[in-house]
Structure 1
Amino acid sequence: MKAMAYVSITPLDKGESVSQYVSKAVKVIKESGLEWQLTPMGTIVAGETTKEVLNVINDAVEALEDCNRISISIKIDYRKNREGKLTDKVDSVMKKL
């Protein structure tokens, strides 16, 4: 894993509770084969390249075809010479506590 993205995909035209729509996007991410982790505020997706990760995010957005307006927030961390798992960063901080 060299590229990691934190993404929040939220429809703006579907009322207050949007979990049924968010779950459609998360399903695409889950089925992509990339490493991922759901959080209360978004989803983390990890892959070998930013292109790979961004393509999965794009597919997740496109899965919400029944939404007219979607808010998408993305934060990307790319580290060229890094291998590891999604949990490595958290484990590193927890060991220091």
Structure 2
Amino acid sequence: MAVAELCLFPLGTESPSVGEYLKPVLKVIEDSGLKYQLCPMGTVVEGPVEEILELVKLCHEAILKAGAKRVVISLRIDDRTDKELTIEGKVRI
């Protein structure tokens, strides 16, 4: 199990507001069945690496379909084999 932070930045939009481009992305994340947590500057997702990478692909397609002319994606993945990773475990002190 891996924990990943995903941020999508739509470019080439008419406005500095990006909510309309990110709504379909959130729908894709919700429909994925993966555990996730929205954060002010991105989304944290928990699951198998293969499923996370497939989710990134679907999010990429969704934001372009929403009308973004260009998209920059920032993705960080933490994948351990020696113990289970969870979103909660990553922030436990």
Give the TM-score range, shorter chain: 0.7 to 0.9
How far apart, CA to CA, are the structure 2 residues paired with 1:84 and 1:3?
6
The one-letter code of the counterpart of 1:26 is L
User: Is the CA contact 2:4–2:77 (under 8 Å) kept in the aligned structure 1?
Assistant: yes
Q: Deviations for 1:6-53, whole angstroms, at most 9, x for unmatched residues?
A: 010111111200011112111101110000010010001110x21111
Provide the secondary structure at the position in 2 that maps to 1:43. strand
2:19 matched residue in structure 1? 19
Give me the whole-angstrom Cα distance separating, in 2, the residues matched to 1:74 and 1:7: 5
Q: How does 1:31-42 map to 2 (within 5 A)?
A: 31-42=31-42
The two structures have a TM-score, normalised by structure 1, of 0.84
Structure 1 stretches of at least 4 aligned residues deviating more than 4 Å after TM superposition: none
Number of residue pairs matched by the alignment: 90
Q: Which residue of 2 aligns with 1:4?
A: 3
Equivalent residues in 2 for 1:35-54, closer than 5 Å:
35-47=35-47, 49-54=48-53
What's the C-alpha RMSD, in Å, of the aligned pairs?
A: 1.3
If the length of structure 2 is used for normalisation, what is the TM-score? Answer: 0.87
Percent identity over the alignment is 38
- The 3-state SS of whatever aligns with 2:87 is coil
* Correspondence list, 1:38-77, <5 A: 38-47=38-47, 49-64=48-63, 65=65, 66-77=67-78
Q: Following TM superposition, by how much is the alpha carbon of 1:85 offset from its aligned partner in structure 2, in angstroms? A: 3.4
Q: Retained in 2: the 8 A contact 1:5–1:45? A: yes
